[in-house]
Structure 1
Amino acid sequence: MHEIIVDGGDVEFFTTPKEYKQQLLLLIKGARKRIFITALYLQDDDAGREVLHALYQAKANFPEIEINIFVDFNRGKRGLIGEKASLGNRALYLKLAQEYPQTLNIYGVAVKRKEVFGVLHLKGMVFDDKLFYTGASINDIYLQQAERYRLDRYCTINSAILADSFCDYLIDNFIDSGLAPLFNQTELPDALEQKKNLAALKLQLKKSHYSVTQPQGLNPSKLVSDKVFITPLVGFGRRKNELNKATRRLVQKANNNIVLFTPYFNLPHSLARDVIRALKRGVKTTIVVGDKTANDFFISNNDRFTAIGIIPYVYEMLLKRFVKRYQNFIDQGLLNFHLWKDEDNSFHLKGLRVDDRYHLITGSNLNPRAWALDLENGLLVDDANKHFLAKTDDELRGILANTTKVKHFTDIEAVEDYPEKPQKLLKKIRAAQIDRVLKRFL
């Protein structure tokens, strides 16, 4: 792992989905050399189409610009959950490829055979020498195209070295390797060829990491007062996962305080143990998690409830179990849980802040799925002189404004409080002990 030295003033945080959309479109318009976009999906909806049209316009205005987009292969071939069978978002990519004389490269990256077993969850967009990092994908709700929104974290960093590192990783693993087919071309690999590609790519990803080329003669002294130090990290699989290891080290070395964001409360066992040990050391720990109603899969209408809608209730069941077990830390004022809810909007924040100095900016949900199945990345920031503290304090205050503090485990609903359909289904799942298996994929 190699640190990248960045001026404190070259890092900026944004706090709303509308700012995310505004920045994204401005960066597309301002790019001249290269645009690399990585997201779980780029949706066929109003926001997705607006972004794609902006990308085609950028290519028309500056024909020499290189534009590469990377989305999950399996996720991109289907429609939204509950929709009829379709080509999914790929249908839009093919349509625009026919309509525009310009050419964009949209790659479909399959990290597992089926979506349930793992997805491309890399995040980060490069515009010339600027990295725009967010856990958000691109669709109506992430960009707040209408009234509803999904809240995430958003950060821009001016650094040619960091931007090169992200682009080189994508080029090496997905473009030059030939293991990620172009999604906006008619022909895709047949089943046998795709199986071979997947096997080769999985082996490659397990050994992959971000390479960093520092300017010669640079002494990365941590005594430089106006600098921050950023380490790009990638993780895939349970073993030798740099991102997971760095996440654990942050919690293990915490002395004073931890702020942890996760949209879905289901910490991996190892990380949960680290958090408990930190609490026992007297480290004040704040965990901000989405209320079950702020979950992507929450279904408010009991009459329309389907099996997929049980997911938010499983998360809440796990949360209540954890809070009940460690109520003593809440009573001592060491452990603070905040449940985020803002009308019918949803919560997608993730990451860590430790001792007001270290920040993990990541797309990882900090759950077993992210820990073992998905391809994840993140930025470990060492801000020794606390350039970002005021900015991240502002971000935290804005987030906490829409939260309710959990004072006792009884503040959280029990299974008996749920509507009839989720209550019955959850009891069946628990009776069959399926919840133990389910936790690994959530």
Structure 2
Amino acid sequence: MEYLTETGVEFPVHANSVRIITTPKEFYDLIIERIGSANKRVYLSSLYLGSGKHESAIVDGLSNRLEETGSLEVSILLDFMRGTRGETEGKSSTTLLKKIADKAKIFLFHTPELRGVLRSVLGERNNEIIGLQHMKLYVFDDSLLISGANLSDSYFTDRQDRYVFIENCKELADFFCSVISVVGSQSFQLCSDGSKKLGTECVHHPFQGNAPEYCSSLRDGVLSILEEAKKRKNESIDGDTKVFPLIQMGMIGIDQEYQFLRKLFSTKEPSLDMTLASGYFNATEEYENLMLNEGDYNLKILIASPDANGFAGASGLSRYIPSMYSSIAAAFLAAIEKHNRKNVELVEWSRKGWSFHAKGLWCDRGNRIDTVIGSSNYGYRSLHRDLEAQIVVSTTNQNLMKRLREERDGLLEFSSVVDSRALRRADHHVPVLVSFLSKILRRFF
């Protein structure tokens, strides 16, 4: 437990208050249900909000609940570039949300890394490779729904993700509401006429001001939340289930997830069964070395097959992204063979008509399971470029461990082994140019 308790921030929860959601429809229905019953607050953090009927129903639900209660606090945090994509055509997150901007706080985080000539040269969509607000946190009163899923149609219908709902844990909900608020305070705020203004607390402009000073302000704000959370832990926390938040914001020097993964991936525990899932698996060189050279445990890595990649069927240059991930998978498979790691296996998820966006870790020790869930894909982007939020749920509760194993096995049910034979299939074909460019561009994915 050392690598968990070192963060100094932990929250006890009742095992029966941890609800594991397994389908996109359940995810959507829960959001609609909880918006409709919220009395105190609704805090939503996502990369973006889509513009279809499902998303309109979310905004309508918020609007109706704001009118019904009169005192409901609503804060929504999105990424600036992704949230404004399509705005000129009237099909963006901001287009849909401006109708409640006079009653709710709509924050748009703009990475300080995208500035100057770079901001002018990179067009819409391409500018998102520099860095994003990527946290997926959904708080309803004192309950937290954490996921890797965005608030968009495919995530409600046919894109498989992970979702854990922790009910009635005020301290945990308060913690993540504070994280959303602090990032929001250093972001743009959407006005009801569609314009964006910097909040009064944001004294350094994200892309026109001094970048180090902006990053320092954001860092100080996040660190103050972590320090405050540590203070509340004045006595030993008993119980069979605990939650440990992990905040990863590499651009401002906060790296809790990185410190956790370094220790986890270097674990020497041959009896440990670890499963890692990522829709966009792109391990850093350090993580790869720790998994294959330093660590010793049974490891199964679940990735998206080319047809289940979120960019499958895309137009323009994006259509080559599944091939790029196939190239990365092939390189990782070669590394497994080079290190002669017989207890490391690469498998891919495929389900007709569906895409795969699930991410997380299951560390099964028989008498305890630690599961990691949140927004991170454990790659270069998550480590250095994006704002990420995760939790580790650590439990010895027999019922919860059973449900976590069922969740893991349910995802693996749609998987098949990736080996040299699989890589020779047509769907895994990697054009020579893509193979070359993936070595250069993988730090942006």
Residue 228 of structure 1 aligns with which residue?
Answer: 241
Q: CA deviation at 1:38?
A: 0.3
Instruction: Say which of 315, 322, 327 aligns to 1:312.
Output: 322
Matched, 1:348 2:357: yes
What stretches of structure 1 of length at least 5 have no aligned partner?
none
Alignment CA distance shift 1:388-1:284 (3 Å): same
| Paired letter, 1:437 | I
CA distance in 2, matches of 1:434, 1:328: 23
CA distance in 2, matches of 1:150, 1:388: 25
Instruction: Say which of 370, 376, 382 aligns to 2:388.
Output: 376
Figure out how many residues of one structure are paired with residues of the other and give that number: 409
| Paired letter, 1:275 | M
What stretches of structure 2 of length at least 5 have no aligned partner?
1-6, 115-126, 199-203
| Paired letter, 1:276 | L
Alignment CA distance shift 1:271-1:392 (3 Å): same
Matched, 1:133 2:146: yes
Could you tell me whether the CA contact under 8 Å between 1:40 and 1:120 is conserved in 2?
yes
| Paired letter, 1:76 | G
Structure 1 segment 268-417 matched on structure 2, within 5 A: 268-277=284-293, 281=296, 283-299=297-313, 306-327=316-337, 332=342, 334-356=343-365, 357-385=369-397, 387-406=399-418, 408-413=419-424, 417=426
Residue 130 of structure 2 aligns with which residue?
Answer: 117
Could you tell me whether the CA contact under 8 Å between 1:259 and 1:353 is conserved in 2?
yes
Structure 1 segment 25-44 matched on structure 2, within 5 A: 25-44=32-51
CA distance in 2, matches of 1:180, 1:189: 5
Percent identity reads 23
Secondary structure at the aligned position of 1:43 is classed as coil
Q: CA deviation at 1:43?
A: 0.9
Could you tell me whether the CA contact under 8 Å between 2:16 and 2:400 is conserved in 1?
no
Residue 264 of structure 1 aligns with which residue?
Answer: 280
CA distance in 1, matches of 2:234, 2:326: 49
Could you tell me whether the CA contact under 8 Å between 1:161 and 1:214 is conserved in 2?
no
CA distance in 1, matches of 2:182, 2:135: 15
Alignment CA distance shift 1:379-1:161 (3 Å): same
Alignment CA distance shift 1:338-1:428 (3 Å): closer
| Paired letter, 1:92 | L
| Paired letter, 1:273 | N
CA distance in 1, matches of 2:219, 2:106: 23
CA distance in 1, matches of 2:72, 2:214: 27
Alignment CA distance shift 1:141-1:310 (3 Å): same
CA distance in 2, matches of 1:319, 1:379: 26
Structure 1 segment 66-81 matched on structure 2, within 5 A: 66-79=73-86
CA distance in 2, matches of 1:19, 1:12: 11
TM-score by length of 2: 0.84
Q: CA deviation at 1:437?
A: 2.0
Alignment CA distance shift 1:320-1:185 (3 Å): same
Residue 201 of structure 2 aligns with which residue?
Answer: none
Could you tell me whether the CA contact under 8 Å between 1:129 and 1:160 is conserved in 2?
yes
Q: CA deviation at 1:187?
A: 2.7
Deviation readout 1:72-131 (Å, 9 max, x if unpaired): 011111139xxx86563222223x249xxx722211111242422000011211111101
Instruction: Say which of 419, 428, 441 aligns to 1:438.
Output: 441
Instruction: Say which of 60, 63, 67 aligns to 1:60.
Output: 67
CA distance in 1, matches of 2:294, 2:15: 29
Instruction: Say which of 7, 16, 19 aligns to 1:12.
Output: 19
Secondary structure at the aligned position of 2:439 is classed as helix
Alignment CA distance shift 1:97-1:219 (3 Å): closer
